[in-house]
Amino acid sequence: MSTFTWNEIRSNNVRTTLLFIAFFTLIAGLSTAIGFILNSLVLGWGIGLIFFCGYGLFAYYRGSNMALSLTGAEPADQSEYRTLHNVVEEIAIAASIPKPEVYIMQNDTPNAFATGMSPEKSAVAVTTGLLQAMDRDELTGVVAHEVAHIEHQDTKTMLIAGVLVGSIAILSDIFFRVSIFGGGRQRNNWVFIIVGLLAMILAPIVAELIRLAVSRKREFAADAKAVEYTRNPNGMSGALRKLKHAQTGMQNTPRSLNHLFIRSDLDDDSFMNKLFSTHPPLDERIQRIESL
pLDDT by residue for the chain (292 residues), tens only, comes to: 444 455 656 666 676 677 677 778 878 888 888 888 788 888 888 988 887 787 777 777 777 888 898 889 999 999 999 999 999 999 999 999 999 999 999 999 999 999 998 899 999 999 999 999 999 999 999 999 999 999 988 888 777 777 777 777 788 888 878 777 765 554 455 666 666 667 767 766 776 666 666 666 688 889 989 999 999 999 999 999 999 888 766 666 666 677 788 887 654 555 445 555 667 888 888 998 988 7
Q: Which residues pair with 125 in a beta bridge?
A: 103, 113
Q: Are residues 110 and 145 in the same domain?
A: yes
CA 156 to chain centre: 9
CB burial string 47-85: b at 16+ within 10 A, e below? bbeebbeebbeebbeebbeebbeebbbeebeeeebeebb
Instruction: Return the pLDDT at 235.
Output: 95
Q: Are residues 80 and 147 in the same domain?
A: yes
- CA dist 222 and 45 (Å) reads 37
Sorted by sequence, the CB contacts under 8 Å of residue 193 that are 6+ apart come out as 176, 179, 180
Q: Are residues 11 and 147 in the same domain?
A: no
Helical (H) or strand (E) element with 162: helix 154-181
Catalytic site residue from 8, 101, 138, 146 = 146
Q: Are residues 163 and 148 in the same domain?
A: no
Angle at CA 275, nearest 5°, toward 269 and 277?
A: 75
- What pLDDT, in 10s, does the model give residues 48-98? 888 778 777 777 777 788 889 888 999 999 999 999 999 999 999 999 999
Instruction: Return the pLDDT at 175.
Output: 80
Instruction: Return the pLDDT at 227.
Output: 93
* Known catalytic residue at 146: yes
Structural domain boundaries enclosing 226: 73-154+217-290
Angle at CA 203, nearest 5°, toward 195 and 213?
A: 155
What is the number of structural domains in the chain? Answer: 2
Q: Are residues 149 and 85 in the same domain?
A: yes
Domain-terminating residue out of 198, 215, 232: 215
Q: Are residues 138 and 231 in the same domain?
A: yes
Helical (H) or strand (E) element with 71: none
Q: Are residues 132 and 99 in the same domain?
A: yes
